């Protein structure tokens, strides 16, 4: 069963149960400037989980493309990838556990054809610290579902923690409960890490049993959350009914929500009975690499094949959504993906970039039906891949020359220490992009060692400095809905319009980031802003703040919003009905005759202040270049 078939069956299944099918949001988050990438299906839907009405109604479903940069270093086993699609269905204050669990079970067993005896499930064990009770209701629902499917003895086992699961094992169970580390879901993780206002709740996961033998290096006994490869999580129903309060306690949301996420690629693995993510979902790239390298995937080079396959696919999708290689933020992540793929290709003996062009093209072709933007931008995507790969190959050659010089210098020194220092290895890495693995490989060839311990210490310091520099900037997908961030978000809308007034209507947003301390916006403009232009932009923003204009959310057909000139991402798919925020004039609603005269109109999910007077005084702090034809401004409110 192909990805297209699984995706199609899922969307049709939930469409038949009253769900509006909405398009995937881009990988670069829209109106959630607190994170680099869209990393889950629910991320674009947070405002609706918090109670804002969704334009498409109370039931929606989709297949959301997702990217998780934090998984880059995990790629190489049979299941971890950075890019994936998350099948999702949501209930915004409509159905709950009694409908969701039977529907997903029916989809897996009837539509996909999985055997019920190969499915195992987990539920929430409760949490003493917060006082949130165990999910006994889901236990009862699962027992009945298994019994009706011919698995009558579905025993419930309370495991509590992964550590306990590894110690005591399955114990004949089919339904297992885990603590908040495994069966509680919020974007911040466990309740203690959640910021005030963040929603979360107990979840119930479904695992597929491939029946592979347990590997004791992952623990004495096997259990559903074991990493040995026997079990694969294929879906998670989150019952999002709690919100964290300012004092650290939890209260019920105004509505109970279902937030389901199922890995498209993982369900396809289960459907095909193949416990290898890459054989099922990356075959086109694997074939290209086998052809170019003369090596086989099922061999000693499997790690390199997997890294290449994942990173090329992820790079194609990031490029398709407008990300370009750079030395910071999203561009740095993309650059790292491409360069790691080139490095692993180099290890396989592929020292040109032709193979990468072929692999990228194969990826675009395989997703053409679902993601038309990849076809539309194919030439740009392939050109960007080729350029970055060629640049890094040249860098590798330069680093190789430097390394050879270091080796020769050591060989002819009086001390004649056959060691590459940690400092030298670190300079090769940071200055030339020369991976430690390659330094180790070349050192071994001439009988040298590398001071890896010192390298690791320097690398950890480097990472810590990077984390400190970005602290409070990218909170792993958290949409900070604090009052200060909300004020800055509305100021962000005013700022974009002011820039268009001063610099010209051709100015469009090309990236943004908002924390509780400041806003930042990237936009297209050829040239440095003058002091007079900056002062005028600041004046316009503060003028509109002083006018105390109403900020109004409206729902309308997408075409109507486009006719009104609402700001939105060009070429991006939007649902038939969209959420739009307008700022001024008074009583600015679609029925008002002056609605199209609003100062600012944007496709947006919020949140915003009710009147601009709540923002405070705006100050433009800095303006600088960040790339060819791209400027960046920062601002604060006081």
Identify the H or E element spanning 453: helix 452-469
Q: What is the pLDDT of residue 230?
A: 94
Q: What pLDDT was estimated at residue 479? A: 41
Per-residue confidence (pLDDT) for residue 486, from 0 to 100: 85
Judged against a pLDDT cut of 70, whether residue 31 lies above it is answered with no
Query: Smallest Cα–Cα separation from 552: which of 599, 589, 508, 603?
Result: 589
pLDDT at site 175: 98
**pLDDT tens, 538-561?**
999 999 999 989 888 888 888 888
Residue 429: the pLDDT is 82
Domain boundaries, the chain: 3-278, 282-469, 483-637
Is pLDDT at 613 greater than 50 in this prediction? Answer: yes
Name, in order, each residue with C-beta under 8 angstroms of 248's C-beta and a sequence gap of 6 or more.
none
pLDDT bin (cut points 50, 70, 90) of residue 627 is low
The fold of the 3-278 domain, in CATH, is BirA Bifunctional Protein; domain 2 (3.30.930)
Question: What distance in Å separates the CA atoms of residue 203 and residue 258, rounded to the nearest whole number?
Answer: 9
Helix, strand or coil, per DSSP, at residue 211: coil
Q: Are strands 199-209 and 119-124 parallel, antiparallel or unpaired?
A: antiparallel
Does the pLDDT at position 477 exceed 60? Answer: no
Confidence bin at 588 (pLDDT 50/70/90): very low
Question: How far apart (Å, rounded) are the C-alpha atoms in residues 413 and 277?
Answer: 50
- The CATH number given to 483-637 is 3.30.980.10
Q: Residue-wise over 273-291: b if at least 16 C-beta within 10 A, else e? A: eebbbbbbbbebbbebbbe
DSSP state of 574: -
Least reliable range by pLDDT among 45-54, 143-152, 295-304, 476-485? 476-485
Name the 3-class secondary structure at 157: strand
Residue 301: pLDDT band with limits 50, 70, 90: very high
Closest CA to 327 of 436, 466, 439: 466
Candidate from 30-34, 338-342, 391-395 with smallest mean pLDDT: 30-34
- Residue 8, pLDDT score: 97
| DSSP conformation class of 132 | B
Question: At 507, is the secondary structure helix, strand, or coil?
Answer: coil
Instruction: Flag whether pLDDT at 478 surpasses 50.
Output: no
Q: What are phi and psi of 15, to 5 degrees?
A: -65, -40
Helix or strand (DSSP H, E) at 238: strand 231-244
Any idea how long the chain is?
Answer: 638
Q: What is the pLDDT of residue 312?
A: 96
Would you state the pLDDT for residue 434? 79
The Cα angle at residue 292 between residues 291 and 294, in degrees rounded to 5: 65
pLDDT reading at 300 higher than 50: yes
Confidence bin at 513 (pLDDT 50/70/90): confident
Q: Using the predicted structure, report yes or no on whether residue 120 has a pLDDT greater than 90.
A: yes
Mean pLDDT of 141-166: 96
* pLDDT digits 0-9 by tens, 63-95: 999 999 888 888 988 888 999 999 999 999 999
How many Å separate Cα 412 from the centre of its chain? 50
pLDDT at 470 over 70: no
- pLDDT tens readout for residues 317-361: 999 998 998 877 888 889 989 988 998 998 899 988 899 999 999
10 Å CB burial of residue 129 (0-12, 13-18, 19+) is: exposed
Give how far Cα 587 sits from Cα of 135, 545, 553, Å. 46, 16, 11
C-alpha distances in angstroms, 635 versus 510, 619, 620, 627, 629?
Answer: 16, 6, 4, 19, 20
- Of the pLDDT bands very low, low, confident and very high (cuts 50, 70, 90), residue 571 is low
Res. 503: pLDDT tops 70 = yes
Q: Is the pLDDT of residue 469 over 50?
A: no
CA distances (Å), 521 to each of 480, 546, 624, 633, 638, in order? 17, 22, 11, 5, 18
Give me the chain's average pLDDT, please: 88
Mean pLDDT value of segment 501-521: 85
Pair 551, 566: CB distance under 8 Å: no
185-235 residue pLDDT tens: 987 889 988 988 888 999 999 999 999 999 999 999 999 999 998 999 999
β-strand partners of 201: 185
Q: Name the percent of the chain lying above pLDDT 70.
A: 93
Going by pLDDT thresholds of 50, 70 and 90, the confidence category of residue 481 is low
Q: Which of 188-197, 308-317, 558-567 has the highest mean pLDDT?
A: 308-317
Question: Coil, helix or strand for 490?
Answer: helix
| Strands 156-160, 175-178: pairing kind | parallel
Digit-coded pLDDT (tens) for 403-433: 888 888 888 776 667 888 898 888 888 777 7
Beta-strand runs (E) in 451-540: 509-514, 519-524
Q: How confident is the model at residue 595 (pLDDT cuts 50, 70, 90)?
A: low
φ, ψ for residue 186, nearest 5 deg: -150, 165
pLDDT one-digit tens code per residue, 88-115? 999 999 999 999 999 999 999 999 999 9
Q: How far apart are CA 286 and CA 292, in angstroms?
A: 10
Q: Which of 110-114, 468-472, 492-496 has the lowest mean pLDDT?
A: 468-472
**Bridge partner list, 521:** 512, 633
Please say if the pLDDT value at position 502 is more than 70: yes
Lowest mean pLDDT: which of 330-339, 371-380, 415-424, 445-454?
415-424
- Identify the pLDDT of residue 626: 74
- Candidate from 168-177, 261-270, 495-504, 624-633 with smallest mean pLDDT: 624-633
């Amino acid at each position: 069963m192909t990805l297209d078939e699984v995706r199609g069956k899922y969307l049709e299944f939930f469409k038949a149960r009253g769900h509006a099918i909405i398009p995937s949001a881009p990988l670069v988050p829209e109106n959630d400037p607190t994170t680099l990438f869209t990393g889950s299906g629910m991320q674009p839907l947070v405002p609706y989980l918090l109670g804002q009405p969704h334009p498409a109604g109370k039931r929606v479903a989709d297949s959301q493309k997702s990217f998780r940069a934090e998984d880059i270093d995990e790629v190489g086993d049979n299941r971890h990838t950075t890019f994936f699609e998350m099948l999702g269905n949501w209930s915004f204050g409509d159905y709950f556990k009694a409908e969701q669990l039977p529907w997903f079970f029916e989809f897996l067993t009837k539509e996909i054809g999985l055997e019920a005896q190969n499915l195992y499930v987990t539920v929430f064990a409760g949490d003493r610290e917060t006082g949130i009770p165990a999910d006994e209701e889901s236990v009862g629902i699962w027992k009945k579902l298994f019994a009706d499917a011919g698995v009558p003895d579905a025993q419930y086992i309370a495991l509590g923690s992964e550590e306990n699961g590894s110690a005591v094992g399955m114990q004949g169970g089919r339904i297992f409960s885990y603590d908040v580390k495994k069966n509680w879901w919020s974007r911040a993780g466990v309740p203690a890490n959640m910021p005030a206002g963040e929603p979360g709740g107990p979840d119930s996961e479904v695992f597929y049993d491939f029946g592979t033998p347990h590997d004791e290096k992952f623990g004495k006994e096997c259990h559903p959350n074991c990493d040995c490869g026997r079990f694969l999580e294929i879906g998670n129903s989150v019952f999002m009914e709690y919100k964290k309060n300012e004092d650290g306690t939890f209260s019920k949301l105004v509505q109970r929500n279902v937030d389901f996420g199922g890995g498209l690629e993982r369900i396809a693995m289960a459907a095909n009975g193949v416990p290898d993510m890459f054989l099922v979902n990356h075959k086109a790239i694997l074939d290209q690499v086998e052809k170019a390298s003369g090596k086989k995937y099922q061999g000693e080079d499997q790690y390199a094949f997997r890294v290449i396959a994942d990173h090329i696919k992820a790079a194609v999708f990031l490029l398709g959504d407008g990300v370009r290689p750079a030395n910071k933020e999203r561009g740095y992540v993309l650059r790292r993906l491409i360069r790691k793929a080139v490095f692993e290709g180099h290890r396989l003996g592929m020292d040109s970039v032709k193979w990468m062009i072929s692999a990228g093209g194969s990826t675009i072709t395989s997703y053409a039906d679902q993601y038309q933007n990849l076809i539309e931008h194919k030439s740009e995507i392939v050109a960007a891949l080729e350029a970055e790969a060629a640049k890094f190959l040249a860098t590798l050659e330069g680093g190789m020359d430097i390394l050879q010089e270091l080796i020769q210098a050591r060989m002819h020194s009086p001390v004649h220490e056959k060691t590459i220092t940690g400092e030298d290895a670190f300079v090769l890495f940071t200055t030339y992009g020369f991976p430690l693995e390659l330094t180790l490989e070349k050192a071994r060839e001439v009988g040298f060692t590398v001071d890896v311990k010192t390298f690791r210490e320097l690398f950890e310091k480097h990472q810590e400095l990077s984390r400190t520099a970005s602290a409070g900037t990218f909170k792993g997908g958290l949409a900070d809905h604090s009052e200060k961030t909300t004020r800055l978000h509305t100021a962000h809308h005013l700022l974009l319009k002011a820039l268009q007034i001063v610099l010209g209507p051709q100015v469009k947003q090309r990236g943004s980031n908002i924390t509780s301390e400041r806003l930042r916006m990237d936009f297209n403009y050829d040239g440095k802003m003058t002091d007079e232009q900056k002062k005028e932009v600041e004046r316009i923003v503060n003028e509109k703040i002083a006018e105390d204009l109403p900020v109004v959310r409206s729902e309308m057909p997408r075409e109507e919003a486009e006719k009104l000139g609402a700001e939105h991402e060009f070429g991006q798919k939007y649902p038939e009905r969209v959420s739009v925020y307008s700022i001024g004039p008074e009583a600015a609603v679609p029925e008002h005759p002056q609605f199209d005269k609003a100062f600012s109109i944007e496709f947006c999910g919020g949140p915003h202040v009710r009147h601009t007077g709540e923002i405070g005084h705006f100050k433009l702090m800095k303006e600088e270049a960040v790339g060819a034809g791209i400027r960046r401004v920062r601002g604060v409110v006081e």
